[in-house]
């Protein structure tokens, strides 16, 4: 089958590009401004070498660890992504099912297209909800209560989106609100009827977790975007993190910070972990690659808190490098979205299988039998980098 012939994440990306109308593929694939940070997130991994131990008996490899207080089968989690139904009709359920099958942690976005209650009822396995602090604090408090009731294990608070990033591919394609599609975009939609026909029925655009707010206002789908756009609060500060940590009282990671100082502040405010992330290069262009920040963040936090390296991971060996530098785990966004677009749940399954196989093979080749035994000496900066 097509998916079986995908040998790596880059192959799945090519399949996704074929399956989707170009503007939708570009929405997944693109980043902010010049996409410097987007590119840097991945290429930064090539600045590190893996230093193997040989003759260490690697007949039993162990990848299990714990994240957000939950046991997981490998140090890889699925990052929250909004609007997932645009990429495949099975949307978040397909992604969460594949994650659960592999024993991996799944995170659902506030801007996802499946209600958090429906997701929790349909799919077992460790689950985190990605939350924003909205202007309407009542809406955020409501999410906290809903997540508790539905049995989510943790929260990830995204803090790198005080305003929307400048995604120029979306502008060029006319993927804006309201849409200003170019002829080229329209032709691309027409050439992908299996994507476009359901979209015409409107079933692809639904922020399922917040739509009740807009229903209450008796407004249409466009107002939903307006409502959400208007809900981002530029005045957020660390105080709000303290408030959320107290309101939730469980495992909480601050997602989207970059420095050791901010990581310490997050833990000081009651977070139990951090996701070192620049939103996959979709927000602040010019921000450093997460992998280059991991050692400093771990150094500042000591052994306890979860440190998650989020962005640019395309190979199992990337995960090993991040762990050797001090990460608890890595988080992936586009790799599973390419799989989802290419083949629904089977495509996500393929992406996860590939990454886990690569991770196990890299461990064996590096002579390390357990992810917990990866040390700083297993990785070396190629250039004279201060880490
Ligand atoms: C995202 N990301 C994201 N993050 C978040 O906190 N809330 C969200 O709703 C979304 N939505 C979203 C949509 C799409 C299409 C992408 C590609 C990404 C960011 C995501 O959680 C993660 O930080 C990055 O995807 C990680 O980088 P890689 O793995 O894509 O390189």
**In the annotation, is 153 catalytic?**
no
Mean pLDDT of the chain: 93
Q: What are the pLDDT digits (tens) for 335-370?
A: 999 999 999 999 999 999 999 999 999 999 999 999
For the cut 70, the answer to whether the pLDDT of residue 386 exceeds it is no
Q: Please tell me which residue in 88, 102, 279, 378 is annotated as part of the active site.
A: 279
Q: Is the pTM of this model over 0.90?
A: yes
Residue nearest to atom 3 of ligand 1 (CA): 81
Find out whether the peptide bond into 370 is cis, omega within 30 degrees of 0.
Answer: no
Cβ of 279 below 6 Å from ligand 1? yes
**Which of 377, 280, 387, 265 shows the shortest CA–CA distance to 330?**
280
Q: Residues 6 or more apart from 150 whose CB is under 8 A from it?
A: 116, 117, 119, 120, 121
ipTM of the complex: 0.99
Q: What are the pLDDT digits (tens) for 285-324?
A: 999 999 999 999 999 999 999 999 999 999 999 999 999 9
Atom number in ligand 1 closest to CA 107: 21
Burial (Cβ within 10 Å: 0-12, 13-18, ≥19) of residue 82: middle
Q: What are the pLDDT digits (tens) for 211-265?
A: 777 666 555 555 566 677 778 888 999 999 999 999 999 999 999 999 999 999 9
Residue in 20, 43, 45, 81 to alter for ligand 1 test, most ligand atoms within 8 A of Cβ: 81
Q: How far apart are CA 100 and CA 98, in angstroms?
A: 5
Residue nearest to atom 23 of ligand 1 (CA): 279
Residue nearest to atom 12 of ligand 1 (CA): 81
């Amino acid at each position: 089958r097509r998916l079986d012939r995908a040998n790596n994440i880059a192959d799945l990306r090519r399949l996704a590009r074929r399956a989707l109308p170009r503007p939708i593929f570009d929405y997944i694939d693109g980043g902010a401004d010049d996409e410097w940070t987007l590119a840097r997130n991945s290429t930064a991994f090539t600045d590190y070498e893996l230093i193997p131990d040989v003759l260490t008996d690697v007949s039993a490899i162990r990848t299990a660890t714990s994240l957000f207080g939950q046991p997981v089968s490998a140090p890889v989690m699925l990052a929250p992504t909004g609007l997932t139904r645009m990429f495949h009709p099975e949307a978040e359920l397909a992604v969460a099912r594949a994650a659960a099958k592999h024993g991996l942690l799944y995170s659902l976005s506030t801007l996802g297209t499946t209600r958090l209650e429906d997701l929790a009822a349909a799919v077992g396995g460790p689950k985190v909800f990605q939350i924003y602090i909205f202007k309407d604090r009542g809406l955020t408090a409501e999410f906290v209560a809903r997540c508790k009731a539905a049995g989510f294990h943790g929260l990830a608070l995204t803090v790198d989106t005080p305003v929307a990033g400048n995604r120029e591919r979306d502008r060029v394609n006319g993927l804006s609100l309201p849409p200003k599609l170019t002829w080229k975009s329209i032709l691309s939609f027409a050439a992908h009827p299996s994507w476009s026909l359901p979209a015409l029925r409107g079933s692809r655009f639904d922020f399922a977790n917040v739509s009740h707010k807009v229903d209450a206002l008796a407004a249409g789908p466009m107002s939903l975007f307006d409502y959400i756009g208007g809900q981002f609060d530029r005045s957020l500060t660390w105080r709000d993190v303290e408030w959320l940590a107290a309101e939730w009282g469980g495992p909480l990671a601050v997602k989207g910070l970059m420095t050791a100082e901010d990581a310490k502040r997050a833990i000081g405010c009651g977070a139990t972990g951090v996701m070192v992330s620049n939103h996959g290069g979709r927000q602040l262009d010019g921000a450093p690659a997460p992998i280059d920040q991991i050692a400093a963040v771990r150094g500042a936090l000591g052994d306890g808190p979860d440190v998650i390296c989020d962005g640019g991971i395309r190979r199992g060996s990337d995960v090993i490098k991040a762990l050797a530098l001090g990460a608890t785990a890595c988080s992936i966004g586009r790799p599973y979205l390419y799989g989802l677009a290419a083949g629904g749940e089977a495509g996500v399954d393929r992406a996860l299988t590939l990454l886990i196989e690569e991770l196990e093979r890299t461990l064996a080749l590096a002579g390390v039998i357990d992810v917990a035994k990866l040390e700083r000496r297993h990785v070396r900066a190629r250039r004279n980098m201060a880490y």
